[in-house]
């Protein structure tokens, strides 16, 4: 059974930092690229970041570049999202998932636009609220 357990969210002021964690089970962690998604109130879930667990390659949505850092620990089957300089627009529920990309080339497409949950299983997410 695939399980995804996110933690680390909270209520912080703008400019603060949080570190999210996501521990997974039920599939081989380093067989997948891992991603973080978020869903703001009243909006659709969007891709935030990914990490290719074998190669270490990473990617970010434009709005978080330079502020967020994704990492993973294969031994712990855990992916992290370090979030610095948080802004009110970062507010939302954050989810992790193993991901696939609907296109192999990102020459004309942002990878976040074609990043999807590979196994269609979601955890409970962790809530991040950033106050101004």
| CA atoms of 76 and 108, how far apart (whole Å) | 35
For 82, list phi and psi in degrees, rounded to 5: -85, 120
Q: What does the pLDDT look like over 70-103, one tens digit per residue?
A: 999 999 999 999 999 999 999 999 999 999 998 8
Q: What does the pLDDT look like over 8-27, one tens digit per residue?
A: 999 999 999 999 999 999 99
| CA atoms of 94 and 8, how far apart (whole Å) | 10
Radius of gyration of the chain (CA): 14
Q: In this predicted structure, what is the pLDDT of residue 19?
A: 98
Q: Are strands 10-13 and 126-131 parallel, antiparallel or unpaired?
A: parallel
Q: In this predicted structure, what is the pLDDT of residue 62?
A: 96
Residue 108: pLDDT band by 50, 70, 90 thresholds?
confident
DSSP state of 74: G
Residue 35: pLDDT band by 50, 70, 90 thresholds?
very high
Burial 93-106 (b: 16+ CB within 10 A, else e): bbbbbbbebeeeee
Task: Inform me whether the pLDDT recorded for 30 exceeds 90.
Answer: no
């Amino acid at each position: 059974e695939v399980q995804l357990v996110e933690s680390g969210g909270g209520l912080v002021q703008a400019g603060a930092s949080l570190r999210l964690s996501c521990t997974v089970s039920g599939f081989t962690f380093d067989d997948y690229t891992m991603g973080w998604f978020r869903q703001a109130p009243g909006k659709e879930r969007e891709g935030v970041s990914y990490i290719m667990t074998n190669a270490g390659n990473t990617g970010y949505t434009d709005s978080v570049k330079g502020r967020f850092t994704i990492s993973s620990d294969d031994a712990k089957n855990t992916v992290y999202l370090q979030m610095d300089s948080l802004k009110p627009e970062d507010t939302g529920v954050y989810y992790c998932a193993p991901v696939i990309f609907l296109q192999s080339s990102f020459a004309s497409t942002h990878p976040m636009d074609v990043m999807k949950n590979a196994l269609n299983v979601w955890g409970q997410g962790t809530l991040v609220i950033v106050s101004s």
